[in-house]
Amino acid sequence: MTSDRSLALRRSIPGTALFDGELAERGFQLNAMCFSFNEAANRKAFLADEDAYCAKFALTPEQRKAVADRDVPAMLRAGGNVYYLAKLAGIFGLNVQDLGALQTGRPLQEFKDYLVSQRAGIDPAIAGLHVSREIA
């Protein structure tokens, strides 16, 4: 059995909601639309007529608004999963660093600097390249 402590963690890690059955059920239509963006023709159809494309996947009003607003935190609250949402972001030329900046409310460069700053936390014992057996 998953322990009560672990189940509680699904919703209690700060700034994080683990994507479980509740979110997967809530987000099915939005994620299904994003999954369709694996195909270039579908990406094109979305760009050509966003309303019609979203209607085809029967997005909930909450999901439709989140997509219209390009509001990533709202997409997550509406059950979007980041692996699928990244395909939607790709349509707009956004990568996961752009998404990180959008979700944390930091300018992109500040978010990138935050990522680089975490290098300072590495124990020197594991930092960088260690070749234990040289092969010619």
Residues forming contacts to another protein in the complex (CB under 8 A) are: 2-3, 5-7, 9-10, 13-21, 24, 28, 31-32, 34-35, 37-40, 43, 73, 76, 81-87, 89-91, 95-97, 99-100, 103-104, 111, 114-116, 118-119, 121-123, 125-136
| Minimum distance from residue 123 beta carbon to another protein (Å) | 5
Structure tokens at 103: 């979700």
Q: Smallest distance from the beta carbon of 65 to another protein, in angstroms?
A: 19
In contact, 84 and 29? CB cutoff 8 Å: no
Q: Give Cβ neighbours of residue 80 (< 8 Å, ≥ 6 apart).
A: 27, 30, 31, 34, 63, 66
Cβ of residue 71: shortest distance to another protein, in angstroms? 13
Positive or negative torsion for Cα 53, 55, 59, 61: positive
As to burial, measured by CB atoms within 10 angstroms (0-12 exposed, 13-18 middle, 19+ buried), residue 23 is buried
- Cβ 14 to another protein shortest distance, Å: 6
The smaller minimum CB distance to another protein, of residues 68 and 95, is found at 95
Nearer to another protein, 39 or 49 (CB): 39
